[in-house]
């Protein structure tokens, strides 16, 4: 178990001031309490820290940051701690204060006519989806960790998820931000405007900054009309080369109503069925590839649900005749929709249960997805015969979780020794195809080396200048991103 380090006199003085400010319950120092905050979701990093602070308001965050800035003590912001690149935990020096946003979880206001809600950073994503639904609106950000990730974390990682195709990344869903700057001042950018060209749009600096430029304390996020109709289908697609064409045809046939388009490989489905009791294959036909697709449409005229279903059935019929799909299961009710999505959501966990895995969250231009998967698989299979490639995910956005599982019987430790080499092969290919080695998970600690390796010199210089301008003492989430 990680421990909190014995504090130096300066650190002890800071601890005392923090306790006076936040009360005993607002400052955790006992290892049994702090341990979950210091361990990252993937078990890759265990950090240590002076303490965990749990402020309840922007004023308290500001006061904490001022105290830390005076004492030159680094701060690591944390939301739901579901990030996959080790960004939300401190290093093991024990010098940092971990600032958890979990107690800042109020929805400050909802404006259904403006299509916005103003929310605190510690609101759990699923709670925001529910609140929007109660106001007959949609907050479309949706990802596997939505039951525990928090909106401040989503903003700080510019999270993607399964709705990007229609609604964009988190960046596209944010109108305004409130941020506590590294010197403790509060920047009030809580703008609820859809048009505002008054100089640099500063919020974009903090979106995706992974806590290295300041602490997001609140945000104005966009709401949308709830779709009047939704259809979900699971399709067997024998040829990888047909997958992206299938997406384009679906977008055209539906009047651009496709809101999710997720690739699942046969190995993925097999491992889900093997490791998750009660799951079942939605289609009998066994093919190398499956696609989970969802269409959603507004209420429109007449019966929107019937119209959407008829359009989808018509589309599927055409794709059957063309030989692009060989089987399909249309969800008949909400339970079946959930069952289909479960198959997709548990894919990463199924892979973890199978043994050693190495993950690559990459993207390439949408038109090159199939080419990338084929070339990448060939390269890795040549390097390590028996390696099991496991590419899945949001291919509608060109985002592939190009994961690999150990050859049967190799063992996790032996497989993980090849981590960097397999990363290099994969990322070299991605970069040569005009792609990104971090599509949606960010850089954190895990991909810092990759950013230094592949980053454009001018990009990196500008990033360092921005960092130095906002955080000259380097106290905000040190050792992450840059």
Ligand X SMILES: Cc1cc2nc3c(=O)[nH]c(=O)nc-3n(C[C@H](O)[C@H](O)[C@H](O)COP(=O)(O)OP(=O)(O)OC[C@H]3O[C@@H](n4cnc5c(N)ncnc54)[C@H](O)[C@@H]3O)c2cc1C
Give the interface with ligand X as residue ranges (CB under 6 A): 41, 76-84, 87-88, 101, 121, 143-145, 149-150, 152-154, 156-157, 159-161, 210-211, 215-216, 348, 440-441, 444, 477, 480
- 137 DSSP β-pair partners: 225
Extract the tokens encoding 343.
């198959």
Nearest to 169, CA basis, from 365, 477, 399:
399
Collect all residues with Cβ–Cβ distance below 8 Å to 39 and sequence separation of at least 6: 2, 45, 46, 47, 89
With respect to ligand X, which residue has the nearer C-beta, 363 or 426?
363
Shortest distance in whole angstroms from residue 121 CB to ligand X: 4
With respect to ligand X, which residue has the nearer C-beta, 85 or 425?
85
With respect to ligand X, which residue has the nearer C-beta, 297 or 481?
481
With respect to ligand X, which residue has the nearer C-beta, 79 or 398?
79
Shortest distance in whole angstroms from residue 113 CB to ligand X: 28
Pseudo-torsion of CA 166, 442, 475, 191, nearest 10°? -10
Q: Which residue is nearest to ligand X (CB)?
A: 153
With respect to ligand X, which residue has the nearer C-beta, 125 or 425?
125
Q: What span, in angstroms and rounded, lies between the C-alpha atoms of 35 and 367?
A: 44
Q: What span, in angstroms and rounded, lies between the C-alpha atoms of 193 and 118?
A: 12
> What HEC string does 178-239 produce?
EEECCCCCEEEECCCCCCCCCCCCCHHHHCCCCCCCCEEEEEEEECEECCCEEEEEEEEECC
Shortest distance in whole angstroms from residue 476 CB to ligand X: 8
Shortest distance in whole angstroms from residue 2 CB to ligand X: 16
Backbone angles phi, psi at 36, to 5 degrees: -60, -30
Element (H or E) spanning 223, and its range? none
Shortest distance in whole angstroms from residue 477 CB to ligand X: 5
Shortest distance in whole angstroms from residue 241 CB to ligand X: 25
Q: How far is CA 118 from CA 79, 123, 126, 137, 171, in A?
A: 17, 11, 15, 14, 15
Q: Is the dihedral of CA 280, 282, 284, 289 positive or negative?
A: negative
At residue 204, the 3 state secondary structure works out as helix
Q: What span, in angstroms and rounded, lies between the C-alpha atoms of 295 and 412?
A: 39
At residue 74, the 3 state secondary structure works out as coil
With respect to ligand X, which residue has the nearer C-beta, 418 or 480?
480
With respect to ligand X, which residue has the nearer C-beta, 377 or 477?
477
With respect to ligand X, which residue has the nearer C-beta, 89 or 308?
89
Nearest to 227, CA basis, from 332, 330, 316, 140:
140
Shortest distance in whole angstroms from residue 239 CB to ligand X: 26
Shortest distance in whole angstroms from residue 131 CB to ligand X: 17
With respect to ligand X, which residue has the nearer C-beta, 153 or 396?
153
Shortest distance in whole angstroms from residue 122 CB to ligand X: 7
Collect all residues with Cβ–Cβ distance below 8 Å to 431 and sequence separation of at least 6: 437, 454
């Amino acid at each position: 178990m990680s421990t909190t380090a014995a504090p130096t006199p300066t650190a002890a003085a800071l601890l005392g001031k923090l306790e006076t400010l936040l009360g005993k319950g607002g400052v955790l120092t006992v290892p049994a309490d702090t341990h979950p905050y210091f361990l990252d979701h993937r078990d890759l990093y265990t950090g240590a820290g002076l303490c965990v602070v749990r402020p309840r308001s922007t004023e308290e965050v500001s006061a904490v940051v001022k105290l830390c800035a005076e004492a030159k003590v680094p701060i690591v912001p944390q939301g739901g701690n579901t990030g996959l690149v080790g960004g939300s935990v401190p290093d093991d020096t024990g010098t940092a204060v971990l600032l958890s946003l979990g107690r800042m979880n109020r929805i400050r206001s909802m404006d259904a006519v403006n299509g916005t809600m103003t929310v605190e950073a510690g609101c759990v994503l699923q709670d925001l989806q529910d609140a929007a639904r109660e106001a007959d609106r949609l907050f479309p950000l949706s990802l596997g960790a939505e039951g525990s990730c928090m909106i401040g974390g989503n903003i700080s990682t510019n999270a993607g998820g399964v709705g990007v195709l229609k609604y964009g990344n988190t960046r596209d869903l944010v109108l305004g931000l409130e941020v506590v700057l590294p010197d403790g001042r509060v920047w009030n950018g809580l703008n609820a405007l859809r048009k505002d060209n008054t100089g640099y749009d500063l919020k974009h600096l903090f979106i995706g900054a992974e806590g290295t430029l300041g602490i997001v304390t609140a945000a104005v996020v966009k709401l949308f009309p709830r779709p009047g109709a939704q259809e979900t289908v699971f399709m067997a697609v024998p040829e990888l080369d047909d997958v992206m064409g299938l997406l384009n045809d679906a977008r055209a046939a539906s009047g651009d109503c496709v809101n999710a388009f997720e690739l699942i490989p046969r190995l993925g489905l097999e491992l889900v069925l093997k490791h998750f009791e009660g799951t079942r294959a939605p289609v009998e036909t066994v093919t190398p590839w499956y696609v989970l697709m969802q269409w959603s449409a507004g209420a429109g005229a007449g019966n929107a649900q019937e119209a959407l279903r008829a359009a989808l059935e018509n589309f599927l019929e055409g794709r059957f005749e063309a030989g692009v799909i060989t089987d399909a299961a249309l969800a008949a009710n909400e339970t079946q929709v959930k069952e289909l999505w479960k198959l997709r959501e548990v894919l990463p966990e199924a892979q973890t249960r199978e043994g050693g895995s190495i993950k690559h969250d990459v993207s390439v231009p949408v038109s090159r997805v199939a080419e990338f998967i084929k070339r990448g698989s060939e390269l890795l299979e040549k390097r390590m015969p028996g390696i099991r490639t496991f590419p899945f995910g949001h291919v509608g956005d060109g985002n592939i979780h190009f994961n690999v599982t150990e050859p049967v019987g190799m063992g996790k430790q032996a497989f993980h020794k090849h981590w960097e080499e397999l990363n290099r092969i994969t990322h070299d290919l991605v970069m040569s195809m005009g792609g990104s080695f971090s599509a949606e998970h960010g850089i954190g600690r895990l991909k810092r080396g990759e950013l230094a390796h592949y980053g454009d010199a001018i990009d990196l210089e500008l990033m360092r200048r921005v960092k130095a301008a906002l955080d000259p003492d380097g106290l905000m989430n040190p050792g992450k991103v840059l």
